[in-house]
Amino acid sequence: MPDARTQMVDAAERLVAEGGLGAMSLRAVQAAAGQRNKSAAQYHFGSREGLIEAVVAARMAPVNERRAEILAALDEDPSGPTDRGLVEALVVPLAEHTLGRPGSRWARFLLQASSDPTLAEVVARRVEGRSYRAVVDGLVAVLHDVPPPLRSRRVGQVTLLAVGSLAAAESRPARLPLDVEVADLVDVCLGALTAPSTAPAVPAPHP
């Protein structure tokens, strides 16, 4: 049986995914986790922000580890990372640890958290770890059809697209096989990422 801390992390993920960040208080998490000790959440996490940090750390540790493995394999290729390989490094770890984790509500949690200005920074500190930044840097370097000032912005938009798609898939009662879901999402993200830009020229910044 999971320990009290794990139960509260799971409960916090569920509450945020189903009701938004406003539904997640320390008291609500304790109740949802079946904790009778009224100071359990305060003891384990210190504050609501500390609980959010704990949820993000617990979910993103395996995602970042898997992403680092994919990036290491790409680096071993003599021809270097491809745009598709980098998109797979972005999407596959998230898909495996959301759609591939029974009962996951993590993508829905991320989608809720990313729209809350008070907690987006807390989430970003963990989500945008070293492996994610390596993917962003790699993609910026290969997006030759996108003006340089728009490249990192394009990657951010595709990241939100991936999270939103996974969040929608998490809530569907019937899904395609995981490998089909992942391959299709990679195709969609790659198409959006590499689409030639028709935006007006971005003026150079003033010195």
**3-state secondary structure (DSSP) of residue 107:** helix
pLDDT at 1: 63
pLDDT single digits (tens) 58-112: 998 999 999 999 999 999 888 778 999 999 999 999 999 999 998 899 999 988 8
105 φ/ψ sector (left φ>0, alpha ψ -120 to 50, else beta): alpha
- Residue ranges per structural domain of the chain: 59-194
∠ Cα 140 162 107 (to 5°): 130
pLDDT at 173: 82
